[in-house]
Structure 1
Amino acid sequence: MNLKVLFGFHAVTVRLKTAPQTVAELFVDAGRRDARMRQFTERAQAAGVLLQDSDDERLTRLAGSPRHQGVVARVQPLKLPHTPDGVLEAVQAEGRGPALLLVLDGVTDPHNLGACLRVADGAGAHAVVAPKDHAAGLNATVAKVASGAAETVPYVVVTNLARALADIKDHGLRVIGTSDDAERTLYDLDLTGPVALVLGAEGKGMRQLTRTSCDELVRIPMAGAVESLNVSVAAAVCLYEALRQRLPKE
């Protein structure tokens, strides 16, 4: 089985918490003895994972980045749903309430993708969907920025995004796109039902075919001088508005 690399305290700690049996190798900086590292090693030992002392040079080589924080793991890939159908079937089977998907069109920066996954996890989204081409793929940098969310939120890659949106509609979801020139705002919508929120890359926005595949377009109100938000910030605004509307009313 091909192993994947995770690095950084957050990403590796989430894997130790959710699926410690999938951690094949765990390397730590032998020279780091601070409280955070002690707490981490105690968690790993409690999970029954063997620690291997290493140095900064080797950890950087394993992680492919110097931003490993002294922690690198080689792990088995998790079996998350990998198609929109699989995600929506899992949502229905688990009784997790109305489906909430985040769809990203043209987001190529791994840092933005990682931040979007982290937001999606926090807001309770059931999956993040993106096209195979012109999009960032899951890698160690994405996992680091996602702080563990790449391990908990399915990242569904589709060959044809417009066709995938049509399939999502067939499952009863409304497809809501975001556009700076839309007449209605996000806050005009009822997001309590099954919905897929579509965001494009900062600057370019959604592609035309994606735009026409949406049931409706909305905008995020902007009261300042800047014209748009970073895609991960926009994703947070949209997903947390859906979450706010879905929370039980006291």
Structure 2
Amino acid sequence: MSSNLILFNKPFRVMSQFSPEGDKTTLAQFIDVADFYPAGRLDFDSEGLLLLTNHGPLQHIVASPDFKMAKTYWVQVEGEITQEAIEQLQEGVTLKDGLTKPAIAECIEEPDFAPRVPPVRYRESIPTSWISLQIKEGKNRQVRRMTAAVGFPTLRLIRYAIGPYTLDNIPVGQWQYTDLSPTLAKEVEQFEQRRNKTTSPNGRGRYQKGRQVPHGKRVAGRAAGAKPTRRTHRKP
């Protein structure tokens, strides 16, 4: 499998979709490649790494929390975050929809990242600090809710990494093709083998809601083999 994955450095206030929604900026203003769709989401007001693919099983593996691909965020929070708050994040934080799983959290220096447009609000009397937070879940706006729960609201949220893929050498608003890592390629192969066990007797396709969907075809605007994704912006 080659050229099935795109890494995109999503700017602030860009929808993680190609279809228009009012006057909001979408991926169509940055990526002009046929048949690629986001694998997972990144909020309109968040920045950073977004993966896109034209391969259904790969889209499912990247987007599904069942495969537990670690996602690393650089987070600017209001106030000088305490060690106690860091430890809370590491142990798990109670949110309205339940306790989060333990995260990898640490204080970091302000990353060398392009300034946000428009910039984060500045208050001379209130300092800010930066943390790195790695999670393997996908609760709605999870990172923002986690930092707020420990007393340090998020001001700026940048997704730096998904699994082995990072923003390194990808300017804001730019994208590039990449190869699958050996681990991810193996997961895709295993997923396809399991899926093929449910193919129709003639081997030409798989069943979906009572009808056969030939491999390689597009279904309802998504890559074949992928689970449906809602056209709403979710994720941290």
Q: TM-score range by the shorter chain?
A: under 0.3
> What TM-score do the two structures reach when normalised by structure 2?
0.23
Specify which structure has the bigger relative contact order, considering alpha-carbon pairs within 8 angstroms and separated by 6 or more residues: 2
